[in-house]
Structure formats: structure tokens, C-alpha cells
Amino acid sequence: MGMGGGTILILCLSLFMHYDQHVAQGANLVFFVPTAIVSIITNLKQKLIKWKTGLIVARMWNCTVQLFGAKISVNLDTSKLKMYFGIFLLIIAIVEIITLFKKQEN
């Protein structure tokens, strides 16, 4: 798991640049698409993609996002979206701290 660049981008856009949460998350998606395309091309060249599994997962994920994610996101108030995103970041921070302590014990 861990915090990626997209999470940091959303934080910067919403906290420091004062963009609305929905706009920050939309901008994150715009940055994500080219990165994903480059990643797919790189993995294709290295023959690391299992097409059958990938297509099944992509189809299921796409259906889930279309059915639930888009409807929930559009209908959520910005303050609630910020709160949920903050909870998400808190969970990531806790997991990272626990992982750090486990690494130090070994």
C-alpha cells in the first residue's frame, strides 16, 4: 500500500491551492491516465501482462466504478468528500507507521 503521488497531488491542490475537492480529484485522474498508459506499454515490452486476467479485472473494476463510484462522488457534498479523504489518509498513515515499526523489529 502506501501513499502515491496522486494522493499528494490531491492534498496540494485542495489544501495549498484551494481547489474544490472534486476538481482536485478530477485533476488527479487527468494526471493518472498518461502515467497508466506509459506503465502498460513498459510492462507490455517486458511481457509482464497476463491479458486474460487483466481484462477480467478491468471489466469488473470498470462496472463497479460506473455503478457506485461516479454516483456517490457526484452526489457527495464537498465537505463530506474532504472528510472521507482525510480518513483515507489517516488510515494510510497508520498502516505506514505500523509497517515501519515491524521493519525495525526485524
Is the predicted pLDDT of residue 2 greater than 60, yes or no? no
Amino acid at 48: L
**What pLDDT score was predicted for residue 10?**
86
State how far the alpha carbon of 99 is from the alpha carbons of 86, 88, 94, 103, in Å: 20, 17, 9, 6
3-state helix, strand, coil in the chain (%, to 5): 85, 0, 15
Report which residue type is found at 87: I
3-class DSSP state of 77? coil
First-to-final CA distance of the chain: 19
pTM, entire model: 0.51
How confident is the model over 3-19, as pLDDT tens digits? Answer: 677 888 888 888 899 99
Q: Are the CB atoms for 67 and 59 separated by under 8 Å?
A: no
Per-residue pLDDT tens over the stretch 49-79 = 888 898 898 888 888 877 777 777 777 787 8
pLDDT in tens, 19-48: 988 888 888 888 888 888 899 899 989 999
Nine-digit cell string for 77: 457534498
